[in-house]
Structure 1
Amino acid sequence: MRLKLVPSETSWDFFRYAKITMGASILAMIASIILWLSVGLNFGIDFLGGTTIRTESAQAVDVGQYRQAIEPLALGDVSITEVFDPNFGPDENVAMIRIQAQEGQESVPPETVLAIEDALRTVDPDMQFPSVESVGPKVSGELILTAILAVSASMVAILIYIWLRFEWQFSVGAIAALIHDVVLTIGIFSLLQIRFDLATIAAILTIIGYSINDTVVIFDRLRENLIKYKKKPLRDVMNLSVNETLSRTVMTSGTTLLALIALLVLGGDVIRGFVFAIFWGVIVGTYSSVFVAKNVVLMLGVSREPKDRDKGNQFANIDA
């Protein structure tokens, strides 16, 4: 007996409400951009600048106690993570504490650093602070630029890959879906004011990879069916392709979401923003693969002529 989230054979019309789904996607993207421009993102230390303090203690690191000790100082965005290293001895318990730059200053002033150290010594009087490092606004600006370049470069590479593997209409549809996913992810982070840092950029790149993988699976089946059903209308072939891959799509997304829910609940504050970004990305990525990418391809049209299809598929055997 096998678990089936979706029947083996389905014949759902995914274009029945195409105008509604595309309209909703466009409105959601516009709302996300407006939120981004009006409310802004809750940037973390990586993008705002701040100070990193390394602690070393003979006692086990208790992130909750550390945070409770620092909280009365009202320092704003504080990130506390335990550092694991196989070379550390049993009495070497290391943590990294990152504090955002204070208003009107490039980093945390020395007197504030001393206050933080005194507060942490209430947890462990023998705690040591081997290093204190600051990230200024110049470095933060470079990180923002690098993050934008990383996301842009990944999309350009995907655009070229899809163009070579399928046809240009497929590449436009895939990129439209990816832009949809990234914009909506930024929008939800702006709406909920979840901390946006380098880990979130890593999550966005993960979302791009997950979403394009799902889209390519559908496109692969669509290409096969375009050859198999030469006389069938393009809309019907697309519907058939999505229905044939629907079970795989739902199962993959469902099992991924189960793991992410566990991490959201049990993972703690350190990775919650990263996990939430991927969780949200899996949902919108699955939606865009089914309702955005193929709708764009249908609007652009795909040549059914054999000679044109041969040109579009000259790189079809490139390994994914």
Structure 2
Amino acid sequence: MAGQSPIRRNLDDTAELPAFLDSARSEEGPLDESRRAEVKPLKRKFPLTTGFTALLRHRYALSVLVRRDLAVKYQATVMGYVWSLIEPLGLTLIYWFVFDLVFGGGNDLPGTSGYLLFIVSGIFAYQWFSSAVNEGAKSLGGQASLITVMKVPREVFPVSKVLARFAEYAVGFPILIIVATLDGGVFRLNLLWLLPAILVQAMLTTGIVFVLAAANVLFKDVQRFLPLVMRVLFYGSAVIYPVSKVAEADTMKDNPWLFDIFSTNPLVGVFSMHRAAFNPELAPNLYQVGVAVGFSIFLLFFGRWIFYRLEPRVLKAL
């Protein structure tokens, strides 16, 4: 049809999405030479972020972005989505060999499960968080040409990264079940811990990504400082060691307030909930759960507010 820009079918970083995203379309139809001079150029107006209800109204665009992200990431690869499991499985084997086989770290774990299940459940949850934060921080700057033509609120871009990385976590969930079956996992009501674990981690990650996605466009220091922060969070969130080891340390016994500070990290409670789904003895205490839930809800709305406040400056910078 004349007057319409063609829809490109290849999945690259600037690929156009379905027809409702094509802002180059004119509703006036073809113009003759006498009318062309009287018509002013069309001004593109895009909706600002209006709230979380905007995600529901544009859920189709969000799902398209998620599918596109996964397709682009694994296109032209032989193993496809298997690559999303290579890194967490590789890290799992390394830490299991070093901390369990060499140093015997799994001997003092509470409950009946072994260290292999402990490290798998922690690594998979951390990998979802780490990948979503790292890619979400670049979600606006890395797709500037696409953002300028999409008639949807910009918050769908960082949220799509969180959901895409969750899809990779979900792909690896059968591996968690297999390891739990072989390594002493418990399959009772403790499995219900997975629901709050996933929900709280999704809220926490989305709030962080809202802040980083907007800040990274305006301040390039964010991208350089982020790897150090993620490394600190990895070692400070009880990913490769049990929380009980921290509580039993002499320094913590002499200074209980230090353990309270350690437990104030919301990721400690989140990862403990992931592990409690297979080993109830690893469940977080009430304080850790409260901190994880409270901080995640606060950061979700605070991050959304920061994203809204910085959005005009971000659009100018893009």
The structure in which a higher percent of residues are strand is 1
Task: Report the structure number with the largest CA radius of gyration.
Answer: 1
Higher relative contact order (CA 8 A, sep 6+): 1
Task: Give the TM-score of the pair, scaled to structure 1.
Answer: 0.30
Task: Give the TM-score of the pair, scaled to structure 2.
Answer: 0.30
The structure in which a higher percent of residues are helix is 2
